[in-house]
Amino acid sequence: MSTFKAPKGTYDLIPPESATFLAVREAIAAPLRTSGYGYIETPGFENVELFARGVGESTDIVTKEMYAFETKGGDKLALRPEGTASVLRAALEANLHKAGNLPVKLWYSGSYYRYERPQKGRYRHFSQVGAEAIGVEDPAVDAELIILADQAYRSLGLRNFRILLNSLGDRECRPVYRAALQDFLRGLDLDEDTLRRAEINPLRVLDDKRESVQKQLTGAPLLRDYLCDACKTYHEEVRGLLTTAGVAFEDDLKLVRGLDYYTRTTFEFVHDGLGSQSAVGGGGRYDGLSEMIGGPALPSVGWALGVDRTVLALEAEGIELELPAVTSVFAVPLGEEARRVLFAKVTELRKAGIAADFAYGGKGLKAAMKAANRSGARYALVLGERDLADDVVQLKDMDSGEQSAVAIAEVLTELRSRLG
Ligand code: HAM
> Is any ligand 1 atom within 6 A of the Cβ of residue 128?
yes
Strands 104-113 and 38-39: what pairing?
parallel
Residue 74 marked in a binding site = no
> Is any ligand 1 atom within 6 A of the Cβ of residue 287?
no
Residue 84 marked in a binding site = yes
3-state SS record for 82-113 = CCHHHHHHHHHHCCHHHCCCCCEEEEEEEEEE
Give yes or no for a contact between 112 and 126, defined as CB atoms under 8 angstroms apart.
Answer: yes
Give yes or no for a contact between 23 and 323, defined as CB atoms under 8 angstroms apart.
Answer: yes
Comparing CA positions, the residue from 147, 150, 167 lying closest to residue 256 is 167
Cα 80–Cα 82–Cα 86 angle in degrees, nearest 5: 70
Residue 123 marked in a binding site = no
pLDDT for position 325: 79
Taken in order 355, 360, 365, 366, is the CA torsion positive or negative? negative
Atom of ligand 1 at shortest range from CA of 306:
12
The residue nearest atom 15 of ligand 1, judged by CA position, is 306
Residue 257 marked in a binding site = yes
CA distance 245 to 242: 5
Residue 237 marked in a binding site = no
Atom of ligand 1 at shortest range from CA of 83:
27
**Mutation choice for ligand 1 from 107, 112, 122, 128, CB with most ligand atoms inside 8 A:** 128
Give yes or no for a contact between 156 and 25, defined as CB atoms under 8 angstroms apart.
Answer: no
Atom of ligand 1 at shortest range from CA of 128:
8
* Cα(256) to centroid(ligand 1), Å: 13
Which one-letter amino acid corresponds to residue 77? L
pTM: 0.94
pLDDT in 10s for each residue of the chain, 420 residues: 789 999 999 999 999 899 999 999 999 999 999 999 999 999 999 999 999 999 988 888 998 999 999 999 999 999 999 999 999 999 999 999 999 899 999 999 999 999 999 999 999 999 999 999 999 999 999 999 999 999 999 999 999 999 999 999 999 999 999 999 999 999 999 999 899 989 988 998 988 889 999 999 999 999 999 999 999 999 999 999 999 999 999 999 989 888 889 999 999 999 999 998 999 999 999 999 999 999 999 999 999 999 999 999 999 999 999 987 789 999 999 999 999 999 999 999 999 999 999 999 989 999 999 999 999 999 999 999 999 999 999 999 999 999 999 999 999 999 999 998
pLDDT for position 355: 96
276 exposure class (CB count in 10 Å sphere: 0-12, 13-18, 19+):
exposed
Q: Quote the distance between the C-alpha of residue 125 and its chain's center.
A: 12
> Is any ligand 1 atom within 6 A of the Cβ of residue 271?
no
**Mutation choice for ligand 1 from 309, 310, 312, CB with most ligand atoms inside 8 A:** 309
* Cα(87) to centroid(ligand 1), Å: 14
Domains, in order of start, for the chain: 17-173+227-316 (3.30.930.10), 329-419 (3.40.50.800)
**Mutation choice for ligand 1 from 67, 82, 129, 287, CB with most ligand atoms inside 8 A:** 82
pLDDT for position 1: 78
